[in-house]
Structure 1
Amino acid sequence: MKRYFPSKWISCAADDSLFKSWYLSAHGHKEPVLSVAFSPDGRHLASGSGDISVRLWDLNTQTPLFTCRGHKNWVLCIAWSPDGKHLVSGSKAGELQCWDPQKGKPSGSPLVGHKQWITAISWEPVHLNAPCRRFVSASEDQDARIWDVSLRKCVICLTGHKGGITCVKWGGDGVIYTGSKDCTIKVWETSQGKLIRELKGHGNWVNSITLSTDYVLRTGAFDHTGKVYSSPEEMKKVALERYNKMKGNGPERLVSGSDDFTLFLWEPAVSKHHKTHMTGHQKLVNHVYFSPDGQWVASASFDGSVKLWNGVTGKFVAAFRGHVGCVYQISWSADSRLLLSGSEDSTLKVWDIRTRKLKQDLPGHAGEVYAIDWSPDGEKVASGGKDGVLKLWMG
């Protein structure tokens, strides 16, 4: 997200509320919380902040497990590897740091090479390579870089954009997608970093991209059973089975959201031309996100609304209205039945996809909500924002 860099116990009234109370009001960070992310198995939580630290949280005691220091500037983004073995963070200073989440220690020195701030991080899917070793970072410096955490260096630099790269995804077919301020989305192969395809159509910055397979790429081999795997090979096999089942016979779909107020639905493996142009927002589209089952796409806009679209056809389905400020981020429940939104208005809202109505209002933050995440196991929601507080919401 690009526009909002920031220069206990409460019971809900309704007995049938999804989240009856929130259990964590953690004042560990000293500055705004800019990113939150659950691990792929849903058992761990990480947060990055303007106080230049990354924190790992104990979800049982609701206290900081580790405070990870080493960055020189705001921690803007964090990403877990889909096997859960690594956590990478990127900062406003342009450096990346890989952490051992079991020890809360850095895995070597910072990874340097980017000349401006890190905007996004995405890991190579575990069904393509286990254990996880490679990830891609995007930067305002117009480049994306592929890093190998075992070699501790950049192995490929993806160059060609004419504006800062705002978002990046490592797809399940092994290609990398980058969205940029130059209004394009580029598709790259990952053995030599060659440009495969360029997706054109947006009239302004591309702010966010999402894949129909995002959920299975994030969770890898982990599912609701909580199974622990004995080897990387077993994990890779199960992850591949989950990916193939999710993808089905069709191509991986991509949706992009832009400053031009619109979204595009693409099938990049099939064509460089968009499948659907999705219009209706009155201001810039800041975040787009496919549901775990790939059937829906949600979009968050600075017009204060969240819109729901058919994830296969791109057809408009519904508009969720209730926020009185810009909507910064959205996140899905694991069963794709509920959608969460976080806003400038200091609230989170839970929307029911079946009824198309507000399910629950979650007030409590003392300022803008910059970052939200729904745990992959579907049991918890985390939020962070301008007030420097990380909240964990549980049913």
Structure 2
Amino acid sequence: MGCTSSMPNKMYNVGKKKNKKRKLNIPEVVVFVSSLSLPGETNLQRALRGLLPRHLVDRLSGLRSQIMILAEDTGGLAFNELQRALEEYLPVLIGLVNKEFSLDQTVDFKWKNLQDGRQEICIASSWFELLSVVNMMAILSMSEANSLLIPKDGLDVAERTVSEDCKKDAIDLLIKASGYLDFCVQCILVQMPPDIKAKLPTDLQEEFLGAVSFQVLGQGTEMQLGLAVENQKATLSVKRRLACEQLKYFAQAAAYFYHGLILDKGKEPSCHITAVCCFLAADELLTDSKKANLSFCVASPVTRALQALPDLPDFSLSLRADDYVLPEMDPAWNDEKWEAQLQTLKEHLNDSVDEPENE
């Protein structure tokens, strides 16, 4: 994988001139996590004035602001609190993508990525907002899994251990994250028109989301294999099957291996800097891997195969993503009184547009 061998708080000097070099901190990583995006300032009251009841607009705005403030204050590390806030926001947000209300392109939703200097992305699409929210839930699940697998004792990497319960909880979180990502690809992106899709950032494109979904399942299988290796009761056939499944997942997640290249495609200078750091870290890991491979190759063939290895058996994948389903739309959207008011307002707005033309 590479991630399992990453070093904690690795520092890299980036820049050509000595007096202009920047030191970047590459945090310890066990689970690959996409860069986190946070909601930006969006004036829902102005965009939805006259189209929705005041109390519903205030609720939408309040829930979104709660997510924004919580994420800003904690840097996205308050996993449980943020997940609850996002789950509370979703039922109210779903009304904006409901075709019955025709509000899909009413609001310019803004999001900012923590990795590229907080550059804002603004797209007038409620589907973009829904995609960003569900994707954020996936990233939080991956981040929480990563935190469970990094011991807090501060010991040397070789001496630290992670409990079996933490590993199992991390696997469950990865399966959940994969479910969120699959839902983004299969149920949200398909609703977007091509012009909106073209505006999406790299980490919300279909190919990237699909690759990360396969990759987190591969990492979950890798942890299952680790648990099987540590379990004396696990048979060799079980370990072999898990190893084969792991390779199959990684083969389908090619974008993971080219993460540095993906980052380097970003338009911001910080994307290029981060990509360089990824390449430097990958080069160090590759060097260590070559040393380990060389020591194995020169060893006496006691257990090493003397002849060419046979092709791996083609097992069906056993670890699958959770099936994620959106919650029910908030009951406030089904209030008959304001629905009649909304229809009247729409007719009034249409009449206002037609009047200048008639004159």
Q: TM-score if structure 2 supplies the norm length?
A: 0.23
Task: Work out which structure has the larger RCO, using CA pairs closer than 8 Å and 6 or more positions apart in sequence.
Answer: 2
Which protein has the bigger strand share? 1
TM-score normalised by L of structure 1: 0.22
Structure with bigger helix share is 2
Bigger radius of gyration among the two: 2
